[in-house]
Structure 1
Amino acid sequence: MSIENSKKLLVLGYVWPEPNSSAAGRHMLSLLTLFVQQGWQVTFASPALQGEHKVDLTELGIDEQAVTINCSSFDDFVNELNPSIVLFDRFMLEEQFGWRVAKHCPDALRILDTEDLHSLRHARHQALKQNRPLTPADLSSDVAKREIAAIFRCDLSLIISDYEFELLKNHYSVPEHILLHCPFMLDLQNVTPSANSFLDRQHFISIGNFRHEPNWDAVLFLKQTIWPLIRKQLPQAELHIYGAYPPPKATQLHNPKQGFLVKGWAEDAKQVMQQARVCLAPLRFGAGIKGKLAEAMFCGTPNVTTNIGSEGMNMGLDWSGLTTDLTQFDNQENSASDFAKHAVQLYQNEALWQQKQQHGYQIIKTNFNKEEIQTTLLARIVDIQHNLNNHRSNNFIGQMLQHHQLKSTQYMAQWIEAKNR
């Protein structure tokens, strides 16, 4: 099979893309756009309900299809479509549909877009809830076993963070030939110095989809711990909280007297980001790379975040703000105080602010160059397609897991389907 004469791509989405709601939505849209521009026939299918901020993929020339889990109707659908490549959006979709794709389209290249390592985020969340550091045992959870198995079963997995790439390679012994570091793909032609200077800007901003647990934890931590410390030193400052799908528990935190303003959905995230002087992202757990911080750098807005917030983004370059480790469980009060001090320092020091702004532009231009990342991705796809049998033969663990998953998952799905009748 060659990429030249077979350009039919099926994307199985965990959710329908919402590029204005989440970094995952923007990343997925950039992948879809790339394949459309390459002349591919792209179909996006999902079992999920459509959200209110869903992008209309048909305007991009992409066919939209609803599919059902645990149902043989998918077999007919994928047989008729006969894609040359299937891209799974997150490991849960590979679990659900991977065995069906392997059975009915065995020659289709199977790609997993991890978005972030869900098992790493889950492990860090469990450690936080138990008020303790992360341990090696946390990385062997049931979620980790499921996710790593899905990575082994696929021909290629797109890994958004260099930290996670090294973790997969060194801790989980995943062969490097089935991994590709694929961070955000940003259009550098639009990266220009912001017209809004230090003095033109005011207040702090925090932004993130409220349905993403690390974002909600960050908002709550800001409200209860960090913002009161900042407000003591900057009594006129305000913190503007933006994000899609704010629940009542979030909107109830809105308090103008405290300068804590929960504004919810932002029609134009770039506009509100460019008006703020400093972006706050006190992320205490999570994984992947952070769309809110890429957006801040793109808009020339320095940030204060955590080691987890900056992870996988600077790749050896100077950071676009100041960081604090909020996972020092034996010294949390001092950590929160340090975060607040950094926020005040960056808010008041124009020279430092300008330096960090320039660091942000450098990170964007060096690490998220759309042209370079797209070229690498397409070249890897061509190479694997031209050598698919050899590629798979060098991944025995993946073949073994595929064999057993075809049995266990197939029988479970057929049992559920029969039960639902």
Structure 2
Amino acid sequence: QFRFTQACLASLQEHQGAERFEVIVVDDSSTDATAEVVPRMPGVVYLRNETNSGFITSCNRGAEAARGKYLVFLNNDALVRPGWLTALLDSFAEEPRAGIVGSKLLYPDGRLQEAGGIIWQDATGWNYGKFDDPEKPEYNYLREVDYCSAAALMIPRSLFASVGCFDSRYAPAYYEDTDLAFKVRKAGYRVLYQPLSEVIHYEGATGGTDLSTGAKKHQEINRSTFAEKWAAELMTKPAHGDLAPLQLAPPDRKNILVIDHHVPMPDKDSGSLRMFQILKILRQLGHRITFVPDNLAYEPPYTCELQKRGIEVVYHPYVKKVRDYLLAHGASFDVVVLSRCDFARKHIADVRLHAPQSRIIFDTVDLHYLREDSEARLTRDPEMRRKAQEKQQLEHELIDQADETWVVSPVEQELLREKWPRKSVQLVSNIVDLPGSKTPFALRRDYLFIGGFQHRPNTDAILFFVQKIYPLVSEHLGDAKFYIVGGHPPPEIVALATERIIVAGLQKDVRPFFDSVRLSIAPLRFGAGVKGKINQSMAFGVPVVATSLAVEGMELRDREDVLVADDPENFARALIELYKSEELWNRLSENGIEKTRVLYSADAASQKLEFLFSNEHLKSAVRPAGLEKTEIALAERN
């Protein structure tokens, strides 16, 4: 079987990423060219058994010789694909208590071989999705599974040793990987399937497929051994062939469906970052999450970023219409979150019809009509005023129809609670990571604005700043550069570029900017909600100069957390003062990080989302049976 070993090693070399690893080949007393060729391969540790000892003994011997933090067991009849190892390793970084992470196994003809293993109550097993299309959404998100095949799995070396390695009672092979998974789970760790790690496996190439001969005959013998050892655990497993439990949320957790305009792109806009964080936190809280983009588009790398974290993403061509998905699966959801008013309006009737048992949450992201109304007041445009009124009517109708409404600022929450005192109006604000400040004041220079230019308030803010404020600033800070960071800058923004005004466009990694600039500006003249640009800057410890509208609803104190100024002269004066005063800079930087931690961190959001999806909260707001839609709005409890 040397040709399989050779091909496996070649694939490891071809698809080697940034990870450093050692390759250990355990030769189980082969009679082919292995013993002659493999020892001469550079970078390979070669171990040979004097007698044929079987899969378990060979794997345990290889593990004992390994030096790395993690072990990867990989059959020699396997070919790895690009990114396979990174995906396994990342799972341990992302998932607390991960104990085993297994790859998606594919047949050479492209069909799915295994998307995680299932163990039935009678101790027989099944490869989930066997022979199906491997690109289907249901096989392409991180999931907890009963076991992963040892054809391709990763486990921390210390954990492997602490649970007793592969159990020799299953020698020479079969059920050792299943037993290992059960031992790891009993030790308090999780067994996960990671579909972003893909491995082609020539199933049976070395062990055969005939259950009556060779090592394969031990499969049935070892099933009995396994069933006896794990009898108590097997009583909790479903009957043979029952796949329904796979669609259930864990105990005391919820099946949650989220519908938004497209897959969140957190490096492009504040709304996407917030949605990405919400989805990630809900998954970390143990809920089963399904995300349906209204456009049903599969959009790498963003779709994969959700899938690798355990969020199922539905996409075309496997679903043709959102309505079709609701018709087929709506009855399984406890909660449906509809994000943004235009898309909530599009789907709310179908959700009520096909998921009548679910609690509908309308996530405003921000109250769109407030943003459009503030623009209408600034521009005195009657057409914009008319659009704002139409948007207000739409959003109010959705609040009436939904069981709960989410807003991002206390100002919006108070506004809606005054109008709907008996409705559940909840504050779920922006959520940012807290990288903090790593560069002292003296080593910083320049300043920036960050924001996507598909958002009209950002274009207006930059034009206002450059035309009215920048000339006043440049008189005093002539050497300072102004960076404009954000995707899709329109021609009028691109035209602003000079030697000291740098239109940087979309940046996948904004950390270098925030680690080097002295301050950030938010000269917004209209808008609504909480401004992600301010959250993001403060999280990096970069103080902000902002208009009063930009900080509305953020509970920030002038000259303690932020500098607030509205007219050009005062804004320029504040910017110059902050740029030059180390004492003021340090105070705002430290206070900004702390305020962000308290109000906008993942920890703060996790506590709020834990409450909002708790049985206590959901039961307190259950719709009384038999009410018509028009009555539901009056029956809600806050």
* TM-score after normalising by structure 2: 0.55
Higher relative contact order structure (alpha carbons within 8 Å, sequence separation ≥ 6): 1
Q: Does 1:251 align with 2:494?
A: yes
Q: Deviations over 1:294-322 (max 9, x none)?
A: 11111111111111111122266865221
SS in 2 for 1:268: coil
Please name the residue that 1:307 is paired with. Answer: 548
Contact 1:153–1:398 (CA under 8 A) maintained in structure 2: no
- In structure 1, give the amino acid aligned to 2:405: S
| Distance in 2, Cα, partners of 1:354 & 1:121 | 33
Q: Does 1:241 align with 2:241?
A: no
2:578 is aligned, of 336, 346, 352, to 346
- In structure 2, give the amino acid aligned to 1:44: F
SS in 1 for 2:290: strand
Q: Does 1:399 align with 2:632?
A: yes
Please name the residue that 1:285 is paired with. Answer: 526
CA offset at residue 367 of structure 1? 1.6
Structure-to-structure mapping, 1:205-224, within 5 angstroms = 205-224=448-467
Contact 1:110–1:156 (CA under 8 A) maintained in structure 2: yes
Query: Higher mean Cα deviation, 358-367 or 46-55?
Result: 46-55
CA offset at residue 213 of structure 1? 0.9
Gap change, CA 1:279 and 1:50, over 3 Å in 2? farther
Please name the residue that 1:332 is paired with. Answer: none
Contact 1:392–1:399 (CA under 8 A) maintained in structure 2: no
| Distance in 2, Cα, partners of 1:87 & 1:300 | 33
Please name the residue that 1:92 is paired with. Answer: 342
Q: Does 1:373 align with 2:605?
A: yes
CA offset at residue 336 of structure 1? 1.0
- In structure 2, give the amino acid aligned to 1:95: R
Query: Higher mean Cα deviation, 138-147 or 208-217?
Result: 138-147
- In structure 1, give the amino acid aligned to 2:483: H
| Distance in 2, Cα, partners of 1:254 & 1:118 | 31
Query: Higher mean Cα deviation, 156-165 or 367-376?
Result: 367-376
Q: Does 1:64 align with 2:313?
A: yes
Contact 2:405–2:425 (CA under 8 A) maintained in structure 1: yes
SS in 2 for 1:310: coil
Contact 1:314–1:367 (CA under 8 A) maintained in structure 2: no
| Distance in 1, Cα, partners of 2:288 & 2:399 | 25
Please name the residue that 2:443 is paired with. Answer: 200
Contact 2:259–2:292 (CA under 8 A) maintained in structure 1: yes
SS in 1 for 2:442: coil
| Distance in 1, Cα, partners of 2:310 & 2:388 | 42
| Distance in 2, Cα, partners of 1:127 & 1:276 | 34
SS in 2 for 1:195: coil
| Distance in 2, Cα, partners of 1:4 & 1:163 | 36
Runs (5+) with no aligned partner, structure 1: 326-334, 403-421
Q: Does 1:178 align with 2:410?
A: no
Identity among equivalent pairs (%)? 26
Gap change, CA 1:176 and 1:138, over 3 Å in 2? farther
| Distance in 1, Cα, partners of 2:417 & 2:249 | 29
Contact 1:12–1:88 (CA under 8 A) maintained in structure 2: yes
| Distance in 2, Cα, partners of 1:399 & 1:298 | 40
Q: Does 1:31 align with 2:296?
A: no
Q: Deviations over 1:53-104 (max 9, x none)?
A: 7452222222222479xx9943331122222211111111110000010011
Please name the residue that 2:128 is paired with. Answer: none
Contact 1:152–1:395 (CA under 8 A) maintained in structure 2: no
Q: Does 1:116 align with 2:357?
A: no
Please name the residue that 1:269 is paired with. Answer: 510
Q: Deviations over 1:183-232 (max 9, x none)?
A: 22345xx454x221111100111110111111111111122211111112
| Distance in 2, Cα, partners of 1:21 & 1:361 | 22
| Distance in 1, Cα, partners of 2:358 & 2:518 | 48
**Paired positions, count:** 381
Please name the residue that 2:396 is paired with. Answer: 148
Contact 2:253–2:286 (CA under 8 A) maintained in structure 1: no
Contact 1:9–1:41 (CA under 8 A) maintained in structure 2: yes
Contact 1:285–1:308 (CA under 8 A) maintained in structure 2: yes
Gap change, CA 1:398 and 1:33, over 3 Å in 2? farther
Contact 2:370–2:388 (CA under 8 A) maintained in structure 1: no
Gap change, CA 1:399 and 1:217, over 3 Å in 2? same
Gap change, CA 1:77 and 1:138, over 3 Å in 2? closer
Q: Deviations over 1:208-260 (max 9, x none)?
A: 0111111111111122211111112211111011002223332222111xx11
Aligned CA RMSD, in angstroms, stands at: 3.1
CA offset at residue 271 of structure 1? 2.4
SS in 1 for 2:360: strand
| Distance in 2, Cα, partners of 1:129 & 1:280 | 22
SS in 2 for 1:43: strand
Please name the residue that 2:618 is paired with. Answer: 385
Q: Deviations over 1:155-174 (max 9, x none)?
A: 1112110111111122xx12
SS in 1 for 2:520: strand
| Distance in 1, Cα, partners of 2:556 & 2:276 | 24
Contact 1:11–1:87 (CA under 8 A) maintained in structure 2: yes
Gap change, CA 1:217 and 1:169, over 3 Å in 2? same
Pair member with larger Rg: 2
- In structure 2, give the amino acid aligned to 1:145: Q
Q: Deviations over 1:329-351 (max 9, x none)?
A: xxxxxx11111111111111111
| Distance in 2, Cα, partners of 1:265 & 1:368 | 23
